[in-house]
Amino acid sequence: MKRREFIATVGGVAVTWPLSVRAQQAEGQRRIAAFFTSRGEDPQVIRQIDRFHDELAKLGWSEGKTIHIDYRFDAGNVAQHIPLAKELARLHPELIVTQTTPITAAVQQETRAIPIVFMRVSDPVGAGFVASLARPGGNLTGLLQYETGIASKWLAMLKEIAPHLVSVAFVASARTPFTYNYFLESAKAAAQPLAIEIVPTPINDAGDIERSIAAFARADGGLLITPDLVNIGNRDLIIELAGRYRLPAVYPWRYFVTAGGLMSYGIDDIDLLRDAASYVDKILRGGKPADLPVQAPTKYETVVNLRTAKALGLNVPGSLLVRADTVIE
């Protein structure tokens, strides 16, 4: 998709959006909204939007022609969730696509009538978004981010690449207690058989990240970076600190590793936009979120950065390389 970009300010947050996003809704177009985490000018977010538009077009919904999409981005600022959710609800779109548990909760607070298609939510039942995965029962449905056992996979990878490891800093945003506790309890349970101590490391901003990782740094330690908006917004800083203190780290998405992180295991969040587009299509054609089952991930990928491993003095075992979908040399 060819794009041109412009700078706008929404809710006090500067963002960069594709030119088509700022266009006024034309007569006859269906109107939806999307509330994404991170910044609109983030290359990963731009790729997500491009994929979303492409997938919608395959289903007959061409942005700027048959459909109009209003976007908002939180820029990693939780305080923006409610104001931006209110803005979108006042636009009265036919549905709203959301990313992450905190953003979905903010939008749900503003409307119980507008259909909501969520992505990157870990426990929609526990969060009160749906009655069950099979029959959501309300105005929300969407895509699970990870299943509960993901933390055991992350910790096993750390122990495999760094057998000397005995403690892992659990780096996660304290601003979203539901998600924080969800992953922390899972990590603690998975750590026991591996003889690993989980060190809770709640963070709220870049300053917290720098201080916490510096305080934790130890020769037998590692980092578990959870999939939350503060870590996403500070991924370059986290990668730099892991290198500075020679800490093996595991990340939730491949783009942390392509940016210089050690390794990741998780879903392809670009592919999520294909599935989200499918839900949008179904709802615009008359489907009800209450009747559309929540979809669990079907594909996970392992990415390993050999250059980073070498810089950390780690030998990547053959068993890990064989399982890797992508190896960066």
CATH number of the domain where residue 307 is located: 3.40.50.2300
Same domain, 89 and 188: no
Same domain, 47 and 31: yes
Helix 206-216 / helix 235-244 crossing angle, nearest 10 deg: 20
Which pLDDT belongs to residue 148? 67
Q: Is the pTM of this model over 0.85?
A: no
Same domain, 189 and 133: no
Which pLDDT belongs to residue 135? 96
Same domain, 58 and 141: yes
Domains of the chain: total? 2
Question: What is the number of other CB atoms lying within 10 angstroms of the CB of residue 109?
Answer: 13
Which pLDDT belongs to residue 27? 66
Query: The domain containing residue 139 runs over which residues?
Result: 5-145+269-291
CA distance 159 to 93: 47
Same domain, 132 and 154: no
Same domain, 85 and 165: no
Same domain, 133 and 29: yes
Which pLDDT belongs to residue 182? 84
Which pLDDT belongs to residue 46? 92
CA distance 108 to 81: 11
- The tens place of each residue's pLDDT in the chain, 329 residues long, gives 333 333 333 433 434 344 334 445 566 799 999 999 888 888 888 999 999 999 999 999 999 999 999 999 998 788 899 999 999 999 999 999 999 899 999 999 999 999 999 998 988 998 999 999 999 999 999 999 887 689 999 999 999 999 999 999 999 998 777 778 888 999 999 999 999 999 999 999 999 999 999 999 999 999 999 988 889 889 999 999 999 999 999 999 999 999 999 999 998 878 889 999 999 999 999 999 999 999 988 889 999 999 999 999 999 999 999 999 999 99
Pull the structure tokens for residue 74: 């939180």
Question: What is the number of other CB atoms lying within 10 angstroms of the CB of residue 2?
Answer: 7
